[in-house]
Amino acid sequence: MTATSPAIDHFSIKFEHSKTQEPLRALYRSIKVAGSFPHEMSDGTTAFLVTIRDVLNAVFEFFQTPISREEYANLTNSEAQMVHKSQKRRVGRHPYAFGEPLRVDLLGEMTKFDGVRISAVKDRKITFALELGRW
């Protein structure tokens, strides 16, 4: 039922230093994932543990969020052109779609979600990385 073993109540999926993920890393640093599955702890309190659904929902909601004007203004010229091209390609597939660029447009052609992986473990803190592929 939980996404990790041992179960945890929250974590972040960090963006890596790669050509694809650098604009995301510069603007947002990570995707926050909070748990929703209630679990009674030995001290009587309730913890909400992270499920696979929580991970998928967090990733989906993050990338479906529009890019703000301030965020767009911080993009380089080549990043802004890539966003425009990605948005045009995405909207072109859906005849009734319109609106502003979404965070997913920052990924260019690397929009296939291949999962998350552990990228580091330090001082009992786990860091996860986003795995992406060409769609």
First-residue to last-residue Cα distance in the chain? 29
Which residues fall within 8 angstroms of residue 68, CB to CB, at 6 or more apart? Answer: none
pLDDT digits over 95-132, tens only? 676 778 999 999 999 999 999 999 888 887 888 999 99
Which residues fall within 8 angstroms of residue 128, CB to CB, at 6 or more apart? Answer: 11, 12, 13, 14, 116, 117, 118, 119
The mean predicted confidence, pLDDT, of the chain is 90
At 95 the pLDDT is: 66
Q: d(Cα 59, Cα 71) in Å, to the nearest integer?
A: 19
Q: Check whether 80 has a pLDDT greater than 90.
A: yes
At 26 the pLDDT is: 87
At 107 the pLDDT is: 93
Q: Check whether 36 has a pLDDT greater than 80.
A: yes
For the entire predicted model, the pTM comes to 0.87
Domain boundaries defined on the chain: 10-133
The SS3 of residue 110 is coil
